[in-house]
Amino acid sequence: MAARFLWASRAASHLRISVAQRGFASVVLKDLKYADSHEWVKIDGNKATFGITDHAQDHLGDVVYVELPDLGRSVSQGESFGAVESVKATSDINSPVSGKVVEVNEVLTESPGLVNTSPYEEGWIIKVELSDAGEVEKLMDSDKYSKFCEEEDAKH
Amino acid sequence: MRSPRTLHGGLEARHSSPSYTLGKRRTDHNLLIPEADLKGLGAELHYTQRGGDITFHGPHQAILYPIISLRSIGIGARNYVETLERSMIEFASVYGVKARAGHKGETGVWVGDRKIGAIGVRISSGITSHGLAFNIDPDLKYFEHIVPCGIADKEVTSLRRETDDMLLPSEEVIHEQLVSCLAKAFSYDDVVWKEDPSFILDNQEEYKD
C-alpha cells in the first residue's frame, strides 16, 4: 500500500475548532481515585474496581462495544487492557493500577451503553486484585481530577 | 497564562489496491461472499483494530489517516470523528455536493441516503490511527459484496456520481483539497508533505492495517 505523509503544525493557543459546548460539568465522585487517561478506581482492601469516568463517556459518544480482558490476566498501571467502541472509533482503556483481573462485567457485552448511562456504577468494567497498593498514590483525587478535566477541555 | 507552543500532527495519505477491511469487532458476517472468492475479484481481506464495520478500500478513493494527539488538543473520540465528518462535508460542498453527517449510529458522510465517506478510527493513548475514506471515483461494484459499514439497504456513492457531468480536476488536486479541509478543521496552519514518515511514527505503535 503506497503512502505519502504530511506534517502539520499549529499554535496551541489558537481556538479555532468549533465544537458545540455542552452546558454541564462532568460528574466526579469524591471517594474514587482517577487516572489522567480518564479511568476511575474504587479501592476495597486489596481489590480494585474500575471503569471510565463521566467525562470520558461524554467525550466518547455512545458506546456500542466493550472489549473485556480475560480473567486471570495481568494488567499494569498505565497500560491498555481493553477497549471501547463508539462512533466508529475504538479507544483503548488503560489500567489505573497493576494487578490480576478477577472479575469482568459481562453485562457490558449485551449492554455496552451502561458505560454511558452509569459510568461509575452499572458501567464498571473490571475488578482486579492489586499487586502494588502503593500505586494508588500516583492517582488523582476527585478535586485534582475535576481540575484536570477543566484544563483539558480548555485546550480547544 | 500559557505561552504559545506549537502542536504537531501527521497525516498519512494512502493508495490502496482493492481490499476489504474489518474493524475490531470482526463483523465478517457482513462480507457477503466467501473469502476464497476475493482473489477472483482481485481483492484482499484485512483485519484491523479500528472502530467501525466492514468497508472497501481501492483505487480512486481518498484514504486519509490523521495521526494526532487528541490529548494535546483536549478533544475526545466524538469531537474528533465529528471534525472528520465536517471536513468531508465542507470538501464535498466545494463541488456543490450537499453532504451531511450520519444520523445516530450511522457515523460517516452521506448525500441523501447514499454514503460517500466512511470513518473508522483507533485511539490509543490518545493518539489517532486509521481515519477516513472518501469516494472520489472508486468502482462501486466492489461494495455490492459487503453490507457496507453494517448498514443494509443504503447505497454507496462517489464524488463522480454526485457531480454527474461536471468536469472534475485531477485526483491529485482533489486529494490536496480534502487534505486542506482537514488541516483547516484541526486548525493546522503550517502543512508540509514529507517522504519519510519516521518522525511521525517514532512514538506510535502499529497503525497500519
3-state secondary structure B150-174: HCCCCEECCHHHHCCCCCCCCHHHH
pLDDT at B3: 41
pLDDT at A11: 67
Res. B43 pLDDT band, cuts 50 70 90: very high
Residues in chain A closer than 8 A to B78 (CB atoms): 58-61, 86-87
Res. B25 pLDDT band, cuts 50 70 90: very high
In a domain, B159, yes or no: yes
In a domain, B165, yes or no: yes
B121 forms beta bridges with A89, B130
pLDDT at B203: 42
CB neighbour burial string for B23-62, b if at least 16 within 10 angstroms, e if fewer: bbbebeebbeeeeeebeeeebbeeebbbbbbbbbbbeebb
pLDDT at B202: 52
- What residues of chain A, 18 to 37, have a C-beta less than 8 Å from chain B? 19, 37
Q: pLDDT 10s digit of each residue in chain A, 156 long?
A: 567 777 777 766 444 444 444 445 789 999 999 999 999 999 999 999 999 999 999 999 999 999 999 999 999 999 999 999 999 999 999 999 999 999 999 999 999 999 999 999 999 999 999 999 999 999 999 999 999 999 888 876
pLDDT at B206: 38
pLDDT at B9: 82
Scan for cell 462517489, then name that residue. Answer: B158
Average pLDDT, chain B: 88
Residue B105: which residues within 8 A CB-CB, separation 6 or more?
A62, A64
Name the residue facing A8 among B14, B123, B188 (closest C-beta): B188
Cell numbers representing residue B19 in the block: 481490499
pLDDT at B196: 62
Name the residue facing A156 among B50, B73, B120 (closest C-beta): B73
In a domain, A127, yes or no: yes
**What totals of helices (H) and strands (E) does chain A contain, helices first?**
4, 10
Task: Report the C-alpha gap between B121 and B87 in whole angstroms.
Answer: 15
In a domain, B26, yes or no: yes
In a domain, A17, yes or no: no
What percent of chain B lies above the pLDDT cut of 90?
69
Cell numbers representing residue B155 in the block: 447505497
Give the SS3 label for residue A137: helix
In a domain, A113, yes or no: yes
Provide the domain count of chain B: 1
Residue B48: which residues within 8 A CB-CB, separation 6 or more?
B21, B22, B23, B24, B120, B122, B130, B209
- CATH number for the domain that contains residue B62: 3.30.930.10
- CATH number for the domain that contains residue A48: 2.40.50.100
In a domain, B4, yes or no: no
Provide the domain count of chain A: 1
In a domain, A18, yes or no: no
pLDDT at B198: 63
Question: Virtual CA dihedral for A65, A71, A72, A75, nearest 10 degrees?
Answer: 20
CB contact under 8 A, A61 and B78: yes
Residues in chain A closer than 8 A to B12 (CB atoms): 3-6
Tell me, yes or no, if A56 comes closer than 8 A to chain B by beta carbon. yes
Residue A92 lies in domain: 33-154
pLDDT at B6: 66
How close is the nearest chain B Cα to the Cα of A85, in Å? 6
In a domain, A71, yes or no: yes
**Nearest residue in chain A measured CA to CA from B188:** A10
For the cut 70, the answer to whether the pLDDT of residue B99 exceeds it is yes
In a domain, B1, yes or no: no
Residue A20: which residues within 8 A CB-CB, separation 6 or more?
none
Q: Which of A109-123, B34-48, B140-154 has the lowest mean pLDDT?
A: B140-154
CB contact under 8 A, B11 and A6: yes
pLDDT at A23: 47
In a domain, B164, yes or no: yes
Name the residue facing B197 among A5, A59, A87 (closest C-beta): A5
For the cut 80, the answer to whether the pLDDT of residue B32 exceeds it is yes
- Identify the CA nearest to A126 among candidates A64, A50, A71, A46: A50
Residue B119 lies in domain: 11-203
- How much is the pTM? 0.88
- Of residues A14 and B57, more confidently modeled: B57
